[in-house]
Homo-oligomer: A and B are copies of this chain.
Amino acid sequence: MRKVDPIKHEEKRQQILDAAGRCFARDGFQGASISDICAEAKISPGHLYHYFASKEAIVAAMVEGGLEAASERFSQIVDSPDVLAAFASEVQQTKARHDRSGRMLLLDLLAEAERNPVLAKVVQEHSRDVRRLLAEFIRKGQAREQIDASLDPELTAAILMSVFDGLKTLSIRDPKIDKKKGTQMLTTLITRFLTPPHAAR
């Protein structure tokens, strides 16, 4: 009868993950300490270990959650009628999210994934999923003759993901950049890349 309520348990986990997210965003994966996270989540260190086996487990769970959310966003675009408009919209949303307080950890994650096999696996599985989604997307566009049919969908998807990743560095390299114009330019880039060569521009 005195079993743990699994819903409450999950809620607490989420609260901890949220707190961890804020700490990681502020100080990085290595810079944020268990102590910091406990303070942010207002729980004791001993208690935290009831929910997560280790710091790495927290990172992994947080990353997995974040990537899942990203996948969902992508899958919502899939059914969008106009391919390029959907892309442009996504780009702008990406940049908007970037300014939110819950900062972008993508670069930290990717850097860390290069030496942490656990994270590497998570990242690669997520990437495969998104790439498939994106490839499917591209195939649809090609069917509608909105996207150059000569482009290999899988590879194109991979390249586009890289381009999106690269976006994160824009404002690091130049904090004063005009983000709106940057978005427009990127839309141009993607449009020209994907548009069938014979199409009027």
Contacts and interface: CB of A to CB of B under 8 A. Distances in A.
A162 B155 contact: no
A172 B123 contact: yes
A102 to B, nearest CB: 14
Interface of A: 26-28, 30-31, 103, 107-108, 110-115, 120, 123-124, 127-128, 131, 151-152, 155-156, 158-159, 161-170, 172-175, 177-178, 181-182, 185-186, 188-189, 192-193, 197, 201
Number of copies: 4
Residue of A123, A164, A168 with most chain B CB atoms under a 10 A cut-off: A168
A185 B155 contact: yes
B161 A163 contact: no
Given A155-B185, A193-B193, A174 B31 contact: no
A152 B188 CA distance: 12
Contact of A173 (B111, B124, B166, B175): B124
A158 B172 contact: no
Nearest to A184: B155
